[in-house]
Structure 1
Amino acid sequence: MTRVLYSLCGKDETRPFSPHCWKVSLALAHKGLDYVERPYPFTAIPTIEDGFSKTVPILRDGDRLVRDSFDIALYLEETYPDHPTLFGGEGGKALSRFVESFSQMILHMPVTKMAIMHIHDMLDEGDQAYFRQSRLERLGKSIEEVAAEGEAERAAFAARLEPVRRTLHFQPYLGGERPLFADYILFGALQWMRVTAGTPPLAEDDSVMQWFERCLDLYDGLGRRVTAA
C-alpha cells in the first residue's frame, strides 16, 4: 500500500512550503509511517483526487482520504494506536488545539507579511495571478501593501514567541521530554517562513531557535531536506 501526502509547492516541487503540510509530514514520520509526498501548485489543488478538497494537506491511506492537518493527525492516532503517540492522551489533544490557535492567531499573519512577496516569486505565472487575487480578497490589500508591513513584523517577531520561550525553560519540547503534534504545529509556521523567506528572525541563542533547530534534526533531518530560502 502506498500512502500519499498531497502538499503545496510553487514552480519547484522539491520545495513544499505549506505550514499545514509540514505538520503532517512530521506527524507521519513520528508515527513511523512510510509515505510519498506529491506537491501541487495552488491552481492544481482542485484536481487532486477528483476535487476531494479545496486545500491541502490531503492524505490518502489505502482507501481512505482525509483532509485538514489536525483531522489527519487525529486519524493517524486512531488508526495506528500501536505506533508512537502524537498526543499522549486527551491532554495532548487539548494542548495541540491551543498551540494551533496560538500559531494561527499570533504567528501566521506576521509570517504572511514577511513572506508574501517571496511566496509570489516562487510561483509560476498562473499561480501568481491566483495568489494576487485570492490574497486581495482575503486580506483586503495588495500583496505589495501587505509586504510593506513586513519589516515591522520582523522586528517584533521574537517577542511574539515569549510564551513558547517560557515554556521551553522547563522542557525541551512543547510536548515535554519528546515532541508531540503540538510541536509540529508550531514548527510548521516557522518552517513555512524558513522555506519561503529565510531563517526566522531569532537569535542563535534564543531557546525557541534552539528548539526549532532540534525539530529540523528530527527523523534524520526531515525538516532540513529543504534548505532555507
Structure 2
Amino acid sequence: MTILFYDLVGHDAKRPFSPHCWKTKMALAHKRLDATKVPTRFLEVPKVEGGASKTVPVIRDGERVVADSFAIALYLDEAYPERPTLFGGEGGKATARFIERWSQLTIHPYLMTVLLTDLHSMQDEANRAYFRESREQRLGKRLEEVVAGRDEGLAGFRASLEPLRSMLSYQPFIGGTSPLFADYIVFGALQWARVASPYQLLETGGGVAEWFERCLDLHGGIGRQVAAAA
C-alpha cells in the first residue's frame, strides 16, 4: 500500500516549500518508499486525517498515521528496517536530535526574517490573510518590518554556519560518507529558502554551499525538481 504524504504548498501545488516536509520527502526517498503526495495548504491542515496534527508533514501508512518529521523518520526506520537506515543506530538518532535543535534555534530564526514576505506571496488569497495575521500576531510586528533587517543579519547567519562548514572539510555529509536524516534536517531549512526566495543566503563556492548542491542531487535530484525562486 502506498504511503500518503501530506505536503505543505501555496497557491502553486507544484512548489512545496515547508522545511519539515522536505525532511520527510528526503527521508521517504532515502528509504526508497513510494508515496502519494497530498498538496495541503495552511487552512487545510486542521482537516488532515481528521485533525491528527496542527502541522504537516503527516503520513498515513496503512492504518498508521504519524505526524512530525522526526517522528516520521523514526517510524520509517522502525517499520522498514531492511531498507537504508536514516540514523545508523541509537547514536545517529541522538546526533540527529542535536542537529534538529541546532537548526531550529540557529538557522530557522534568521531564515524567517529573510522569507516572510516571500512566503506570504506564495499563498492564495485566503491563506495569505491567514499567514499575515498569524505571523504578525506571533512576531508583534508587520512582516515587512521583520524582513527589513535581513541584510543586517546575513553576516552573522553565515558565521553561525562555521561548525557545519568546518565539519564538512572532513567528510562530504553530516552523516559521514553518505547522508543520513541529520543531513535532511539542515537541507530542509536551506531548501525552504531556495524554493521561497531568490535571496542569496550562502557564500558561493563555500563548503556549505557545495554540500547543499550534493544534497540537491541526491535520490535522482528530487530537490531540483522544484526550481529555485527567481
Shorter-chain TM-score above 0.5 = yes
CA positional deviation for 1:137:
2.3
Partner deviation per Cα, 1:180-222 (whole Å, 9 max, x = no partner): 0000000000000000013642223200000000000000001
- 1:138 is the counterpart of 2:150: no
Q: Which moved more, 1:216-225 or 1:43-52?
A: 43-52
Specify the code of the residue in structure 2 equivalent to 1:129: A
Secondary structure in 1 matching 2:6: strand
CA 1:178 to 1:200, structure 2 compared with 1: closer, same or farther past 3 Å? farther
Secondary structure in 1 matching 2:94: helix
Query: Whole-Å Cα distance in 1 between the matches of residues 159 and 38 of structure 2?
Result: 35
Query: Whole-Å Cα distance in 1 between the matches of residues 60 and 193 of structure 2?
Result: 27
Query: Whole-Å Cα distance in 2 between the matches of residues 105 and 12 of structure 1?
Result: 29
Residue correspondence of structure 1 range 21-170 to structure 2 within 5 A: 21-170=21-170
Query: Whole-Å Cα distance in 2 between the matches of residues 153 and 124 of structure 1?
Result: 29
Q: Structure 1: which 5+ runs fail to align? A: none
Q: TM-score, normalised by structure 2?
A: 0.97
- Over the aligned positions, Cα root-mean-square deviation in angstroms equals 1.1
The equivalent of 1:189 in structure 2 is 189
Q: Structure 2: which 5+ runs fail to align? A: none
Query: Whole-Å Cα distance in 2 between the matches of residues 167 and 47 of structure 1?
Result: 42
Paired-residue identity, %: 55
Query: Whole-Å Cα distance in 2 between the matches of residues 75 and 216 of structure 1?
Result: 24
CA contact (8 A) 2:11 2:123 kept: yes
CA positional deviation for 1:64:
0.8
Number of equivalenced pairs: 229
Q: Which moved more, 1:109-118 or 1:45-54?
A: 45-54
Secondary structure in 1 matching 2:54: coil
CA positional deviation for 1:38:
1.4
CA positional deviation for 1:44:
1.0
Query: Whole-Å Cα distance in 1 between the matches of residues 49 and 94 of structure 2?
Result: 31
Query: Whole-Å Cα distance in 1 between the matches of residues 97 and 21 of structure 2?
Result: 17
CA contact (8 A) 2:7 2:16 kept: yes
Partner deviation per Cα, 1:84-129 (whole Å, 9 max, x = no partner): 0000011111110111011010010111111110000111111111
Q: Which moved more, 1:149-158 or 1:109-118?
A: 149-158
CA positional deviation for 1:155:
3.5
CA contact (8 A) 1:199 1:228 kept: no
CA contact (8 A) 1:190 1:200 kept: no
CA contact (8 A) 1:114 1:147 kept: yes
CA positional deviation for 1:54:
1.2
Specify the code of the residue in structure 2 equivalent to 1:165: R
The equivalent of 1:214 in structure 2 is 214
Query: Whole-Å Cα distance in 2 between the matches of residues 153 and 107 of structure 1?
Result: 12
Query: Whole-Å Cα distance in 1 between the matches of residues 216 and 37 of structure 2?
Result: 18
Q: Which moved more, 1:152-161 or 1:181-190?
A: 152-161
Query: Whole-Å Cα distance in 1 between the matches of residues 195 and 136 of structure 2?
Result: 23
